[in-house]
Structure 1
């Protein structure tokens, strides 16, 4: 086989078939055809198996147009996308990884994956939506919520970014936006207090950035509509390795039972908003290997 290098790579206006000769290598295909073929190859195979083959393939795989084409092909962006993108390769990987990093956000599995930090009063409970004196959720597919009592109830999850596929160079250099969201609601017949605290932590659990808004006080008989809390961490310090998410509250009437705020549909996502949200399976590391080994392939 003819070695795959730029020195022997030439694109002519005439195809091998039109000249009556056999194609010696795949590199005799027009560049746009090679790019189309590469756009069909999974990202991790492009970087692990295709890019090291030769300088031609390396240069083609590093082209902006290839990664933009892959984003369009996989539905991450629309054909008429007009937002600026600093690095299309990194953008593609962030889109591939993007999913909700909070597990069991809507109480489908009880309290699985949640750490109960405070469990006062009659303790945490899972209830169906709508609650008594409550309202339906904005998304009819969400049927359950976590409910607090007359004593402070707090629960949390800690997201390990390396385990989730976000390697340290990505977090330290690119610093993709970290978006947190939570939904809460009161019972109409009882006042309550809702709290949320989200921290970005280092390897040693040092707090590098924090979102701790003032508690939300909801008066009795002031409605039971679901409310969303949203916050974006941007341009945060380097060394972020964990995200600690905590929320909860209590009622203000000190009634026995579960009259405090309910919470559900919590989320932590990293990276840009995209047209199509990947499924949980797609949200896994697109390279299929340990995050620490990815940087040299991306750069």
Structure 2
């Protein structure tokens, strides 16, 4: 066994995992594909989950400009899109004159992780099937009853065949103010052979009403751990 192969096996605890001699184990070791975050730019807002989210700025005067739908941040590494939602007048009694309603929008951010390009090898993914751990933190607020969605898919080599997926669509208690971070996480295990990509997509809701009020996030991660919990 080569020195680099021994290092990979020892440091990552890969006893029982397939370690074919055909691999360039020096390259695998230097890529460090196991136990690190495979997402790029996981904190576009520059915030940490160890510090409470900043309180929103309240304007002294209403913003008279056009509605704004894109939050502040450096979203390099992410594919982004915006969906403006129709006005919701439900719950307003008939005959009431409506002067203005808030405008809501979803801001979507997506990354597709190429597991082989990150240094993982087919035999490990297909036979050993290590845990793929997804984690995210979003800002709890009273902005709306639904402010966050997460969709994660494990994809085959064609990038269209879904081998496993996980969706989160929580609801918020708008009657209680606890402005903090909320954790979302999931562990994929025993997912079957063929996984080559991880598609990570989350959506956060923004509101424009006399100013822009967004939902922030931090600490997004996709990690492959050298552990196997089920088959």
Structure 1 residue runs of 5 or longer lacking an equivalent are 1-37, 48-60, 78-84, 122-148, 274-299
Give TM-score, length-normalised by structure 2: 0.63
Q: Secondary structure of 1:203's partner?
A: coil
Instruction: Tell whether the 8 Å contact from 2:17 to 2:124 is kept in structure 1 after alignment.
Output: no
Of structures 1 and 2, the one scoring higher in RCO (CA 8 A, sep 6+) is 2
The aligned counterpart of 1:293 is none
Report deviation, 1:158: 0.4
Paired residues for 1:49-198 under 5 Å: 70-71=10-11, 86-87=15-16, 96-98=32-34, 99-107=36-44, 110-118=74-82, 120=84, 150-187=104-141, 190-191=143-144, 192-198=146-152
Deviations, residues 115-169 of structure 1 (Å, cap 9, x unaligned): 0133547xxxxxxxxxxxxxxxxxxxxxxxxxxx821111100001111111222
The separation in 2 between residues aligned to 1:230 and 1:111, in whole angstroms, is: 21
Q: Secondary structure of 1:97's partner?
A: coil
The aligned counterpart of 1:224 is 179
| Pair 1:272–1:67, CA change in 2 (3 A) | closer
State the Cα RMSD in Å.
3.2
| Pair 1:228–1:97, CA change in 2 (3 A) | same
As a proportion of its length, which structure holds more strand? 2
Report deviation, 1:220: 5.4
Structure 2 residue runs of 5 or longer lacking an equivalent are 20-24, 47-72, 86-102
Q: Secondary structure of 1:222's partner?
A: coil
User: When the two structures are aligned, how many residues end up with a matched partner?
Assistant: 172
The aligned counterpart of 1:234 is 189
The separation in 2 between residues aligned to 1:256 and 1:155, in whole angstroms, is: 25
The separation in 2 between residues aligned to 1:114 and 1:102, in whole angstroms, is: 9
Q: Secondary structure of 1:152's partner?
A: strand
The aligned counterpart of 1:243 is 198
